[in-house]
Amino acid sequence: MAPFLLLLFLLSEAASDNPNITVHPGDNVTLKCHAAGPSITVLKWIKPDLEPEYVLFYRGNRMQTANQNKEFKGRVELVDRDLKEGDMSLILKNVSSIHNGTYECRVKDGVSRRKKRAADISMLRTIRTIHLQVTERGSEDGISSPVGLIVGLVAGVLILVVVAVGGVLMYKRRKNKRSGQPADDADEASAVQFI
């Protein structure tokens, strides 16, 4: 039972971290991203399969919209524009099927200002990758979310427990039949002795 509880705990932690998200068209969704360390000088949310790939580009304490992909103009904002406590989570508004895919949160942190802007961008590190799936309501096919996975695992464990208990009961019955006295007859015989 302890390994099962550990697995359930780990899965619930992974679910809260949300690397895979399923939403419906028209929903707003928050793509979580956090970084610890010194001040963030550059933040870039990208969708690698797009051209241009920029979903959001933040530098110099403001959003840079010049190279932002047109599908995300007016649809994205940061949870915290000041990036306090390393929160770089992105809110994507009014999603549609064109927003399906992989998103990456990339940052450059530090205090050095002597490097050129191109160097700032090339030194970004990916700290979060999230897969977003936008599905029509009612079209979910099975276990696609972490919650569904947990429910499926719990159901699987319950089935195994039922099968194991049934197997033990069958084993005891066969064992009692071999000894010459059925399990129910043994209980009746002991009850007759007390009368």
Rounded CA separation 131/59 (Å):
24
- Does residue 7 sit within a domain? no
The residue with tokens 């840079």 is: 64
Among the listed residues 116, 120, 119, 117, the one whose alpha carbon sits nearest the alpha carbon of residue 107: 120
Is the pLDDT confidence value at 46 over 90? yes
CATH number for position 90? 2.60.40.10
Phi, psi of 185 (to 5 degrees): -65, -35
CA-based R_g, the chain, Å: 28
The mean pLDDT of 23-47, rounded to a whole number, is 89
User: Do both 107 and 129 map to the same domain?
Assistant: yes
Per the structure, the count of domains in the chain is 2
Cis, peptide link before residue 52, omega less than 30° from 0: yes
One domain, residues 67 and 119: yes
Say whether pLDDT at 99 is over 90: yes
Per the structure, the complete domain to which residue 167 belongs is given by 146-193
β-pairing, 101-109 vs 54-59, is unpaired
Report the alpha-carbon distance of residue 128 to residue 89 in Å, rounded: 10
In a domain, residue 94? The reply is yes
Q: In this predicted model, which residue has the larger pLDDT, 65 or 190?
A: 65
The answer to whether residues 84 and 26 belong to one domain is yes
Does residue 76 sit within a domain? Answer: yes
Are 116 and 178 contained in the same domain?
no
Quickly state the pLDDT bin for 76 (edges 50, 70, 90): very high
Considering the domain architecture, whether residues 56 and 26 belong to the same structural domain is answered as yes
pTM of the model: 0.58
Q: Which segments within 110-168 are labelled E, that is strand?
A: 125-134
Question: Using one digit for the tens of pLDDT, what is the confidence trace for 121-178?
Answer: 567 889 999 999 999 887 655 445 555 667 667 777 878 787 888 778 888 888 888 7
How many alpha carbons fall within 13 Å on the CB side of residue 158? 6
83 assigned to some structural domain: yes
Residue-level pLDDT at 165: 83
Domain co-membership, 109 together with 169: no
